[in-house]
Amino acid sequence: MADVFRTTRRVEFRETDAAGIAHFTSFFAYMEEAEHALLRQLGTSVVALTEQGKISWPRVSASCDYTSPVRFEDDLNIEVRVDHLGKKSVTYAFWFFHQRNEVAKGQLTSVCCHLPPEKAMQAIDIPPTLVAGLSSFQVHKDAPPTG
């Protein structure tokens, strides 16, 4: 059954800037950490040794919209869904909440790649077991985030 993936993250001091708020780049780090936590829950990793050799998930696209600044030691709740599951790529949507208010919303598109040693990466089909796992996070598009 479809479900969202949930995780939390505290804003660390080095992630703040001289304007006193979490630097906008920090949210991309949070998205990556959440993506990797989701992959771990599926029993895999962003860099995995499989029968096809070493596979990884480089990004072809990343974006974030910021609604409200967050500060040092703010605890963020993060919701992750699979927005689109292609043959070779997956698009995740991320919602960030602080005290039940949405503070940011982002997207990552990652491509399943074979990583031959010392050679260029090559996009490959997502292995069937992972397709099944990832599709479990495909929530109906119109379902609102729950915060």
- Regarding 143 and contact with a second copy (CB under 8 A), the answer is no
Pairing mode of beta strands 75-85, 47-50: unpaired
- Amino acid identity, position 91: T
Of 60-68, 85-93, 123-131, 132-140, the window that binds a second copy (rule: CB under 8 A) is 60-68
Residue from 36, 74, 102, 127 that binds a second copy (CB under 8 A)?
Answer: 36
Query: Rounded to whole angstroms, how far apart are CA atoms 132 and 44?
Result: 13
Instruction: Identify the helix (H) or strand (E) that includes residue 27.
Output: helix 26-41
State the greatest distance between any 2 C-alpha atoms of the chain, in Å, as a whole number.
48
- Regarding 59 and contact with a second copy (CB under 8 A), the answer is yes
- Regarding 14 and contact with a second copy (CB under 8 A), the answer is yes
Query: Rounded to whole angstroms, how far apart are CA atoms 65 and 87?
Result: 27
CB neighbour list of residue 126: distance below 8 Å, 6 or more residues apart: 85, 86, 87, 88, 89, 90, 112, 134
Within 107-136, the residues that bind a second copy by CB under 8 A are 115, 117-118, 121
Residue from 41, 43, 47, 84 that binds a second copy (CB under 8 A)?
Answer: 47
- Regarding 4 and contact with a second copy (CB under 8 A), the answer is no
Considering the complex, state which of residue 1 and residue 19 has its C-beta at the smaller distance from a second copy.
19
In the complex, the residues that contact a second copy under the rule CB under 8 A are 12-14, 16-21, 23-25, 28-29, 32-33, 36, 40, 45-47, 56, 58-67, 69, 71-73, 115, 117-118, 121
